[in-house]
């Protein structure tokens, strides 16, 4: 046992030694060239000199110091140090194993009349509470989506369900040039926008409902703002795909967008009968409101169990519009439509030998499920003056659904042409309508005082009409004839509202 532990220790030690010999570290201190002031929150980045792709980055501490570890050796690198209002510092590096102390790096302040020459940009910059990544520093494949670009950013994790974590913190929204894009559904932006459109990626805390910064940063999520290239704002762009196959199979999808400084317009659509929702997983259900339609209840109702297989025909579409009327009024409208039709027809023939008799059972089943949803959401933000903000976020959903199921069963044997016949019919029709809003009023006064009034409202109504019919006709004296006929009707309503008033007075 002792020899095994010793061998394991030696292997680990050799591994760490090998890693240390194949990597390097740099450290230093950033100061102002004139005042000698230690410059905290300066951005320090190391890039490959050949293509300026990012290798590593950090932000200086309160004492202006920094250290970057696990850097490649014997490779042409470039150190880039940036700070808002200062000229960029650059230094070529070719590191050897160990720690390289760069000593004190002095940044020169930029004068007001100085001309800034546009050239190589830092791959990452920290501006107060905002981390800004330069998209050009992260190389993606041709025609790659935004999702691939975000996966390349240091500290960013994109999960398969569309959840985005930045340094372990979740993301509440993705904005396009500061504007909403199909509500809070992040998957649509991740899957359908091209990475080549993006100039910068900004990450900052979501304080839309916390302008006074009362909430601790630990309890906040991030906002990712995708800044578009200037050329994109002068054109209309789109992406379309389609195909045909055997047995009448087809698929067509596309997105068309126009982005301007004050007006953004996007429309997307999909149609297929390939048992696929089209855009990406869960997009149709979360945006279209199928999770509200009661279709899960339909599938698991009195229809002989949940149906699967068959042919699924999907049609869906969405519309997103943003328009700014100066700095006073901001409007957003997002609409999503979805329809799924699932059909399944089966026929089973079963023969069973009992003594000298063969019992034959023929069963036919027909299943059809139709679920539709209309989802409307938006934002109205009005700033009548610099100290007042009124924000109204409504959402409205209509989600009807229907399932029809029928079956026919016939039993016979070699002696009797008909033993019994069983006929069954079931239908289940559901609907769910919902309205929600968040109405927020914020007013900032002098001496750090503020007033916040917030109203939440939820109105929901749903229903279910279920019909089940079954009749057994027996032609044998040993089996009784039976009839089952049932209709069930149910309705639900939800009414809820909440009002909060907060008046802030600083104690010091």
The Cα-based distances of 25 to 67, 129, 387, 400, 495 in angstroms read 7, 27, 48, 61, 61
Q: How far is residue 92's CA from residue 76's CA, in Å, rounded to a whole number?
A: 7
The pLDDT, as a whole number, for residue 214 is 86
Answer whether 19-117 and 129-229 agree in fold.
no
2.40.30.170, 3.40.50.300, 2.60.40.10, 3.20.20.210: CATH of 19-117: 2.60.40.10
* CA 333 to chain centroid: 18
Per DSSP, the three-state class of 446 is helix
Q: According to DSSP H, which parts of 100-152 are helical?
A: 146-152
Is the dihedral angle over the CA atoms 37, 38, 42, 44 positive or is it negative?
Answer: positive
Per DSSP, the three-state class of 333 is strand
Q: How far is residue 425's CA from residue 409's CA, in Å, rounded to a whole number?
A: 12
Pick the closest to residue 81 from 118, 50, 40 (CA basis). Answer: 40
Q: pLDDT in tens for each of the 508 residues of the chain?
A: 555 555 555 555 444 444 446 789 999 999 999 999 999 888 898 988 888 888 888 889 999 999 999 999 989 999 999 888 888 899 999 999 999 999 999 999 876 555 454 556 678 888 878 899 999 888 899 889 999 999 998 889 998 888 899 888 999 999 999 999 888 788 888 888 899 999 999 999 999 888 888 888 889 999 999 999 998 988 888 888 899 999 889 999 898 999 988 899 999 999 999 876 544 434 443 443 333 333 333 333 333 334 456 889 999 999 999 999 988 999 999 999 999 999 999 999 998 887 788 889 999 999 999 999 999 999 999 999 999 999 999 999 999 999 999 999 998 888 777 888 999 999 999 999 999 999 999 999 998 899 999 999 999 999 999 999 999 888 876 677 888 999 999 999 999 999 999 999 988 7
Q: Are 89 and 120 in contact (CB under 8 A)?
A: no
Q: Are 232 and 259 in contact (CB under 8 A)?
A: yes
Residue extents of the structural domains in the chain: 19-117, 129-229, 235-504
Pick the closest to residue 378 from 190, 182, 177 (CA basis). Answer: 182
Q: How far is residue 312's CA from residue 343's CA, in Å, rounded to a whole number?
A: 6
Per DSSP, the three-state class of 191 is helix
Q: Are 405 and 302 in contact (CB under 8 A)?
A: no
Pick the closest to residue 379 from 431, 302, 323, 429 (CA basis). Answer: 323
The pLDDT, as a whole number, for residue 308 is 56
The pLDDT, as a whole number, for residue 192 is 85
2.170.130.10, 3.30.420.40, 3.90.1150.10, 3.30.230.70: CATH of 129-229: 2.170.130.10
The Cα-based distances of 477 to 208, 474, 480 in angstroms read 75, 8, 7
């Amino acid at each position: 046992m002792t020899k095994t532990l010793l061998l394991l220790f030696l292997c680990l030690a050799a591994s760490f030694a090998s890693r240390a010999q194949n990597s390097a570290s740099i450290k230093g201190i950033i100061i102002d060239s004139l005042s000698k002031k230690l410059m905290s929150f300066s951005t320090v980045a190391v890039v490959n000199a050949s293509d300026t792709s990012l290798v590593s980055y950090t932000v200086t501490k309160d004492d202006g110091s920094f250290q970057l570890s696990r850097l490649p050796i014997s490779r042409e690198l470039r150190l880039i140090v940036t700070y808002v209002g200062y000229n960029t510092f650059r230094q070529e590096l070719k590191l050897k194993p160990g720690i390289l102390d760069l000593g004190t790096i002095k940044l020169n302040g930029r004068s007001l009349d100085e001309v800034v020459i546009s050239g190589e940009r830092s791959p990452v910059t920290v501006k107060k509470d905002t981390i800004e990544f330069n998209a050009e520093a992260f190389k993606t494949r041709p025609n790659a989506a935004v999702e691939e670009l975000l996966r390349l950013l240091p500290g960013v994790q994109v999960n398969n369900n569309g959840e985005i974590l930045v340094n372990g913190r979740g993301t509440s929204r993705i904005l396009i040039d500061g504007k909403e894009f199909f509500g809070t559904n992040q998957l649509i932006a991740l899957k359908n926008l091209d990475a080549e459109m993006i100039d910068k990626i900004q990450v900052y805390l979501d304080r839309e409902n916390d302008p006074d910064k009362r909430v601790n940063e630990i309890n906040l999520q991030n906002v990712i703002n995708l800044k578009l290239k200037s050329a994109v704002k002068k054109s209309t762009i789109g992406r379309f795909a389609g195909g045909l196959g055997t047995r009448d199979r087809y698929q067509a999808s596309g997105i068309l967008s126009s982005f301007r400084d004050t007006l953004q317009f996007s429309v997307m659509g999909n149609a297929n009968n390939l048992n696929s929702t089209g855009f990406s997983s869960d997009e149709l259900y979360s945006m279209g409101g199928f999770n509200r339609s009661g279709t899960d209840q339909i599938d698991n109702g009195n229809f002989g169990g949940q149906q699967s297989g068959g042919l699924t025909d999907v049609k869906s579409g969405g519309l997103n519009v943003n328009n700014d009327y100066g700095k006073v009024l901001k409007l957003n409208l997002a609409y999503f439509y979805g329809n799924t039709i699932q059909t399944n027809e089966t026929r089973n023939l079963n023969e069973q030998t009992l003594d000298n008799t063969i019992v034959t059972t023929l069963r036919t089943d027909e299943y059809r499920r139709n679920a539709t949803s209309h989802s409307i959401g938006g934002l109205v933000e009005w700033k009548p003056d610099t100290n007042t903000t009124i924000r109204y976020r409504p959402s409205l959903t209509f989600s009807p659904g229907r399932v029809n199921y029928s079956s026919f069963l016939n039993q016979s044997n070699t002696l009797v042409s008909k033993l019994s016949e069983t006929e069954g019919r079931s239908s289940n029709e559901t609907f769910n309508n919902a309205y929600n809003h968040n109405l927020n009023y914020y007013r900032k006064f002098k001496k750090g005082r503020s007033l916040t009034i917030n109203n939440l409202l939820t109105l929901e109504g749903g229903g279910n009409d279920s019909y089940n019919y079954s009749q057994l006709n027996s032609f044998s004296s040993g089996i009784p004839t039976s009839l089952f006929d049932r209709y069930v009707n149910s309705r639900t309503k939800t009414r809820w509202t909440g009002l909060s008033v907060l008046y802030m007075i600083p104690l010091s």
